[in-house]
Amino acid sequence: MEFGGILGFDIGIILAPMGADVSGPELVAAVANAGGIGLLASPVNGYDVTVKAIQETKKLTKKAFGAGVLLEFDNERTIKAIFDEKLACLEVYWGDFPKEMVDEAHKHGIKVIHQIGSVKEAERAIAAGVDCIIAQGVEAGGHIIGTVSLMALLPRIVDVVGERDIPVVAAGSISDARGYVAALAMGAKGICVGTRFIATKEAYANDYYKQQLLHYTEAETDRTDLYGRLTWRAYVRCLNTPFHQKWRNAPDSIQNDDSQPIIGRTIVYWQEIILRRFAGQVANRTTTGQLQDMVMLAGQGVGLVNDIVPAAEVIKRYVEGAKTIIQGLREKYHPDSTPPTPTTPEDEKWTWVDKFCF
């Protein structure tokens, strides 16, 4: 079991690029400053606004970070901005990402992370030459591309990757250190976290949305396409709020089109947006209106989210908690073993916790 960083970052914890701007400059910078991999939720196909978001992030951190892009939409201008700003990594999700696009990213010195939900998608990502694969289980929050749980999917993806130098990262309801260690035990080199990072001080989510996360459990989320029928029919996992319970079985004809009443307004990356009923946009800090009637994306790990703390504290809990768990396992199952004594500079780079196997 290896414990440590990936892709040149100190810590193998990735901030999911939660849209439209929950993973904004403040949260990305906080994760980067704590040693993790911060991924900015990129604006859709906008060069100038993407550059501005990246530059706002750079004002808050000197550490490397990346950005996430949904390939379901034309994002050529957004990707060009990411290349021009020379970010460390580009996370892609949904849609096609052929080898030519990976090669172009590599020419700009950018590593490509591909989030997938099936073995077949993993095989395509490997063939395209990506640098990292995120295996997303169906229990994850937000958009869900697959139908298989992380426990079943992750070992299969690890086996498909084999000895290739492509770290596999686990995503889906990993809300505390126990999930982190479980992912490592199944062969992952890191974790990608969404819901737990929404409940942080730096997340650009509305305070009402953050507070709701503290009151729901793993049994109170739902996988639905209700909020994406008009422009992008894709499943998401969200809180099963009273509003959602009322409408979750609505017929397919129900969409967030112009016939739906306006329930709020928001500003996303400096652009004002009108929110109609069933809109897929979560509430950010600027959102006003009927917040209780808006979608609240969250994974099944929400039951383990009990407080709102700084992002650095979340990372600290993952790392220190994982080390404590691994140490406890060593003491329980190998009580007579002792940590190796460093004898060379290379030995000093890791401790028995960082390279512990059982």
Q: Please, is 290 exposed, middle or buried when counting C-beta atoms within 10 Å of its C-beta (0-12, 13-18, 19+)?
A: middle
Task: Give the tens place of pLDDT for each residue, 186-198.
Answer: 999 999 999 999 9
Q: pLDDT category, 120, cuts 50, 70, 90?
A: very high
Look up residue 92 and give its two tokens: 């892609």
Task: Give the tens place of pLDDT for each residue, 16-68.
Answer: 999 999 999 999 999 999 999 999 999 999 999 999 999 999 999 999 999 99
Mean pLDDT of 71-84: 95
List of E strands, the chain: 13-15, 39-41, 66-70, 89-93, 111-116, 132-136, 142-143, 168-171, 190-193, 221-224, 236-239, 262-268, 271-276, 288-289
Closest CA to 213 of 203, 228, 224: 203
- Look at residue 98 in the predicted model and tell me its pLDDT: 82
Q: Name beta bridge partners: 136.
A: 171
Q: pLDDT category, 352, cuts 50, 70, 90?
A: very low
Q: Is the pLDDT of residue 169 over 50?
A: yes
Separation between Cα atoms, residue 283 and residue 136, nearest integer Å:
24
- Look at residue 145 in the predicted model and tell me its pLDDT: 95
Mean pLDDT of 117-135: 97
Task: Give the tens place of pLDDT for each residue, 320-346.
Answer: 999 999 999 988 888 876 666 665 544
Separation between Cα atoms, residue 237 and residue 243, nearest integer Å:
15
- Look at residue 353 in the predicted model and tell me its pLDDT: 46
pTM of the complete model: 0.93
Question: Which CATH number does the domain 13-204 belong to among 3.40.30.10, 3.40.50.300, 3.40.50.2300, 3.20.20.70?
Answer: 3.20.20.70
Q: Are 167 and 135 in contact (CB under 8 A)?
A: no
Burial per residue of 166-178, b for 16 or more beta-carbon CB atoms within 10 angstroms, e otherwise: bbbbbbbbbbbbe
Q: Name beta bridge partners: 70.
A: 93
Residues of the chain with CATH 3.20.20.70: 13-204
Task: Give the tens place of pLDDT for each residue, 206-252.
Answer: 999 999 999 999 999 999 999 989 888 899 999 999 999 999 999 99
- Look at residue 50 in the predicted model and tell me its pLDDT: 98
Q: What angle do CA 121, 126, 127 make, to 5 degrees?
A: 95
- Look at residue 340 in the predicted model and tell me its pLDDT: 61
